[in-house]
Amino acid sequence: MKNIILARVLDVVVISLLLVDHSSANRFAATVAVFLAIVMLIGFFGMSADLANKIKAKSWIGRAFGMVAQAAYVGALIYAGYPSIAAFYAIAAILLRACVHHKLKPAGEGV
């Protein structure tokens, strides 16, 4: 539980840094967002069924907060003037969520 709270606090800090009108804070937060997107892509390419189960095992409130945080990152990146990083982050987040859904899909379902 502490890890989830710490992660959400760090999300709020990075999003706040994107929204302040200070160029070095914006660049730092954009760099952090790029790093997070790269980590999501690594998770996408290295996804196992166990990891997908761990991600999917979160409560619906946890998943909702995660999606809100990802949307806030994209919005803050666009507002800060980094639309290409926002697109990269959004694509990485969508791919990760799709991979979780695909790994947990029953074997009998269609393609």
Q: What is the pLDDT of residues 33-75, one digit of tens each?
A: 999 999 999 988 887 777 777 777 677 787 788 889 999 999 9
- And the tokens for 25? 């804070």
**What are 84's two structure tokens?**
């290409």
Instruction: Give the number of other CB atoms < 10 A from CB of residue 45.
Output: 9
Rounded distance between C-alpha atoms, residue 48 and residue 54, angstroms:
10
Task: Record the pTM.
Answer: 0.82
- CA-nearest of 39, 35, 29 to 96 is 39
Closest of 6, 69, 20, 13 to residue 40, by C-alpha = 69
Output the pLDDT for position 65. Answer: 84
For residues 14 and 64, the model is more confident at 14
